[in-house]
Amino acid sequence: MCKIKEMTILSLIFLALVAHDSLLAEAKIMAKCDAVKELQKAGVQKTFFSNWICLMKMESGMNTSLLTGPKTASSYSHGIFQINSRKWCSRGHTGGKCNKRCEDFLNDDIQDDIVCAVKIFETEGWKSWDGWVKKCKQCPANLPDVNCKSRRSSSLESLFESDEEQI
């Protein structure tokens, strides 16, 4: 009987580790130019790209799987835009003003994150994000250049330039 319990416990631990690893495999630190492409794909106004990139960098470090909290009212913030569960999404089921599961904002597909972030911006403006207010608005030098060079460029200089240096 003890062997069966031990095997069951070990099996559960193994499954938990596999599930944890699969969640981590979906997350990434997004490069600036990849984020610009995602904003373009979502139809976000180009004039706001530098603000969105600065916001993502200051709120999450461009980490698509960042989960922080608990914050006020036991809420958590999710993903690259740090979308808060108190108002914008619901943990474990669809809901909130974005009608999304908060967990959906923790993977590397940020299209749904962008849709919700734009809704937040249209409703409350940039002030919803402390990172933007403190580090982007009050320090315009932090607003990055969002002109991404083509990877196909034949220029020798572009071969040695990393994405981080372009931020």
d(CA 142, CA 160) in angstroms, rounded, equals 23
86 in a structural domain: yes
Q: For residue 41, is pLDDT > 60?
A: yes
Task: Quote the pLDDT of residue 27.
Answer: 61
User: Six-digit token pair at 71?
Assistant: 């914050």
The CB-side HSE value for 157 (13 A sphere, CA atoms) comes to 3
Q: Does 25 score more than 60 pLDDT?
A: no
Residue corresponding to tokens 């835009």: 81
Asked if 90 and 78 count as a contact pair (C-beta separation under 8 A), the reply is: no
In a domain, 158, yes or no: yes
Answer yes or no: are the C-beta atoms of 67 and 59 closer than 8 Å.
Answer: no
Would residue 18 count as lying in a domain?
no
Please check whether residue 117 lies inside any domain of the structure. Answer: yes
User: Does residue 23 lie in a domain region?
Assistant: no
15, pLDDT greater than 50: no
Note down the domain range covering 124: 28-166
pLDDT average, residue stretch 21-27: 49
- CATH code assigned at 63: 1.10.530.10
Is there a contact between 70 and 143 (Cβ–Cβ < 8 Å)? no
Whether the per-residue pLDDT at 166 is higher than 50: the answer is no
Q: Return the pLDDT at 148.
A: 86
pTM above 0.85, yes or no: no
Q: Confirm if 42 and 158 have CB atoms less than 8 A apart.
A: no
* Tens digit of each residue's pLDDT (9 = 90 or more) over 111-159: 999 999 999 999 999 999 999 999 999 888 888 888 887 554 434 333 3
Residue 22 lies in a domain: no
Q: Tell me which of 35-39, 78-82, 140-144 is least confident.
A: 140-144
Least confident range from 19-23, 67-71, 126-130: namely 19-23
Q: Is residue 4 part of a domain?
A: no
**Residue 63 pLDDT grade (very low, low, confident, very high; cuts 50, 70, 90):** very high
Asked whether the predicted pLDDT for residue 165 surpasses 50, the reply is no
Residue 103 covered by a domain? yes
- Look at the chain and report how many structural domains it folds into: 1
